[in-house]
Amino acid sequence: MLLNFYKEFSGYLLKRIFIARIGGLIIGILLLELYLSTYVSVKAAITHLLLIALLIVTFRIWDDFSDRKYDYKHHPDRLPGAGNPQNINFYKLFVLCLLLFQMLIILFFGNYVKLAIYSAMLLLFSMLYLKEKWPPNMRILRNQTVLLKYPVILYLGSQSSDIYRLIISGVVLYLFISWFDIADTSNQSTSSRTWFFISILLIFEISKTIDHWRII
């Protein structure tokens, strides 16, 4: 059974995790965090990268898992556990282990405030994901609410004490990803490679925006 799960999970990772879009997100948010921080050691940068990658991958799997019934009709290639329904419990256990590991990282390298915010995000997402059926007009609101995880990920990994810059960065980051999510939903042919380069350029656009608003 474990071998079957390993084969299926490997295929899922290649289709949904190890892709340019996810890589662009991880690198873009990491660059933004490094920009916001006045000084970051090599150890801290590696820790940031690990935390960002774990958070994005975990919520990607969790999001796909929660959308299984919707994706069964619209995006069957996204279904975790589609090859064998018995593997679903392994996906649940894997995500749970990742969530607990992230809490330990945040607690060890962060502080209790970040841990509380992370816990609140998990509670919010649990409520959103437990509701399986969403009316079409409410599903857009649900999807946009789920995107709040990206500004939170930015905050959780950042060592910056400049709250102003963090807030502005988080708002611009959310608006950018929100815009792309809507555009991508309406145009499924959007190139992942294009998204990757857009994500990398995001750091420079946000940097200029922050500096401009800071001067004003």
For 131-177, the pLDDT digits (tens) are 766 666 677 788 888 899 999 998 888 877 778 878 888 887 888 88
3-state secondary structure the chain: CHHHHHHHHHHHHHHHCCCHHHHHHHHHHHHHHHHHCCCCCHHHHHHHHHHHHHHHHHHHHHHHHHCHHHHHHHCHHHCCCCCCHHHHHHHHHHHHHHHHHHHHHHHHHCCHHHHHHHHHHHHHHHHHHHCCCCCHHHHHHHHHHHCCHHHHHHHHHCCCCCHHHHHHHHHHHHHHHHHHHHHHHHCCCCCHHHHHHHHHHHHHHHHHHHHHHHHC
Which range has the worst mean pLDDT, 91-105, 117-131, 154-168, 183-197? 183-197
> What is the pLDDT, as a whole number, of residue 117?
92
Instruction: Choose between 193 and 127: higher pLDDT.
Output: 127
Number of domains, the chain: 1
| Predicted local confidence at residue 194, as pLDDT | 58
The answer to whether the beta carbons of residues 52 and 26 sit under 8 Å apart is yes
Higher pLDDT, 128 or 207: 128
Is the pLDDT at 118 greater than 90, yes or no? yes
pLDDT of 216: 45
* Residues 33/45, Cβ–Cβ less than 8 Å: no
What pLDDT is recorded for position 37? 72
Residue 85 in this model has a pLDDT that exceeds 70: no
Which range, 34-48, 53-67, 189-203, has the best average confidence (pLDDT)? 53-67
Least confident piece of the model among 21-30, 179-188, 190-199: 190-199
Q: What is the C-alpha separation between 102 and 118, in angstroms, rounded? A: 9
Boundaries of domain holding 195: 2-215
What's residue 75's pLDDT? 61
pTM: 0.80
| Cα–Cα distance, 51 to 30 (Å, whole number) | 10
